[in-house]
């Protein structure tokens, strides 16, 4: 079921349960907690997906989150990278859906790329939650920085939809060499409110992903793209997020007629090339590629 339909179902369940319980949701004690989690996070666990890729040669990256959760991602090295990108996908599927994106970023845009599967997705262990996937992104950034021999703040953060919210949190909290967002929301309750206008979703939902508040704390380069026919996350939320960003070096690309999962136009690709070319220099000199991580190459 599409996320909009799931949110509507969630709202109906929330209203029924709250009227029975007679209390406001309180984190895990919330009567909507289970329904909220299963509506927002729709992972495909391994072996679901096309894991034997032919369009891009990937390496399996294995690393652990701070709480010990074992995580997985796909890594592709560029011998002369213009930047080093951590890429975070949306709320459904797993990293295999990003094969073409990884190939394009690596070949056309000349990036070294790590695409993360959050906990519970693909080969990553655990169960997804807001706090958990934010922790996963930090672990992935740390792995990529060590692998490429750069500082963690020199990683380029890229996120689509839910992954955009994860990227905003990481950039706003710790900084980044650059931030690239596509189809990203102002907050999860704002998305829910758009689809279910007759319920107070900010009060009901325990998952916040409050990107519009967080992005005010990020001052680095920003490139944001959004389709003006996005049926999942309204185009206005993309505009609001862009306007709220404190960065003085920011640009927004409108995908005219584009829906949530439609390919981005060539204008975006050109803008991304320009964005990468203007990124600030690395804060530290690159060192030898780190060793000691568990890396298995798949051909």
Identify whether 129 is a catalytic site residue. Answer: no
Write the pLDDT tens digit of every residue in 267-292. 999 999 999 999 999 986 554 444 44
Residue 184 exposed, middle or buried by CB count within 10 Å (0-12, 13-18, 19+)? buried
Residue 290 lies in a domain: no
Is 197 a residue whose pLDDT tops 90?
no
Residue 184 lies in a domain: yes
CB-based contact 76:34 (threshold 8 Å): no
pTM attached to this predicted model = 0.87
CB-based contact 82:110 (threshold 8 Å): yes
Identify whether 230 is a catalytic site residue. Answer: yes
Quote the Cα angle for 138-140-142, to 5°.
70
Identify whether 213 is a catalytic site residue. Answer: no
Residue 218 lies in a domain: yes
Identify the DSSP state of 250: E
Residue 17 lies in a domain: no
Residue 107 lies in a domain: yes
Write the pLDDT tens digit of every residue in 206-247. 899 999 999 999 999 999 999 999 999 999 999 999 999 999
- Taking the C-alpha atoms of residue 281 and residue 283, their distance in angstroms, rounded to an integer, is 6
On average, the pLDDT of the chain sits at 87
More confident of the two residues 26 and 215: 215
Tally of structural domains, the chain: 1
Q: Give percent above pLDDT 90 in the chain.
A: 74
Instruction: Identify the band that residue 171 occupies on the pLDDT scale cut at 50, 70 and 90.
Output: very high
Residue 123 lies in a domain: yes
Identified catalytic residue from 117, 154, 210, 230? 230
At residue 31, the pLDDT reads 52
Identified catalytic residue from 39, 161, 211, 247? 161
At residue 9, the pLDDT reads 46
Helix (H/G/I), strand (E/B), else coil: 113: strand
Is 163 a residue whose pLDDT tops 60?
yes
Residue 154 lies in a domain: yes
Q: Residue 213 belongs to a domain with what CATH number? A: 3.40.50.1820
At residue 107, the pLDDT reads 96
> How many Cβ atoms sit within 10 Å of the Cβ of residue 268?
19
Residue 32 lies in a domain: no
Full residue range of the structural domain in which residue 150 is found: 44-280
């Amino acid at each position: 079921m599409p996320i909009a339909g799931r949110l509507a179902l969630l709202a109906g369940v929330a209203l029924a349960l709250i009227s029975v319980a007679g209390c406001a949701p309180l984190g895990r004690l919330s009567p909507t907690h289970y329904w909220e989690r299963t509506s927002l996070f729709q992972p495909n666990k391994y072996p679901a997906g096309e894991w034997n890729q032919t369009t891009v040669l990937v390496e399996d990256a294995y690393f652990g989150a701070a709480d010990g959760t074992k995580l997985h991602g796909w890594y592709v090295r560029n011998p002369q990278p213009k930047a080093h990108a951590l890429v975070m996908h949306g709320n459904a599927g797993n990293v295999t859906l990003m094969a073409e994106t990884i190939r394009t970023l690596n070949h056309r845009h000349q990036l070294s790329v790590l695409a993360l599967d959050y906990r519970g997705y693909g080969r990553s262990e655990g169960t997804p939650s807001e706090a958990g996937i934010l922790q996963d992104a930090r672990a992935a950034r740390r792995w990529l920085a060590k692998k490429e021999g750069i500082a963690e703040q020199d990683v380029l953060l890229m996120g689509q939809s839910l992954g955009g919210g994860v990227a905003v949190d990481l950039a706003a909290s710790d900084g980044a060499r650059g931030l690239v967002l596509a189809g990203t929301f102002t907050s999860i309750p704002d998305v829910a409110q758009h689809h279910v206008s007759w319920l107070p979703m900010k009060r009901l939902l325990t998952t916040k992903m409050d990107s519009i508040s967080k992005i005010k704390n990020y001052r680095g380069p920003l490139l944001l793209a959004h389709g003006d026919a996005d049926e999942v996350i309204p185009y206005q939320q993309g505009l609001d997020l862009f306007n709220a960003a404190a960065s003085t070096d920011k640009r927004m690309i409108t995908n005219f007629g584009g829906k949530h999962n439609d390919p981005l136009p060539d204008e975006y690709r050109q803008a991304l090339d320009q964005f990468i070319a203007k990124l600030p220099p690395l804060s530290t000199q690159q060192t030898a590629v780190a060793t000691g991580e568990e890396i298995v190459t798949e051909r």
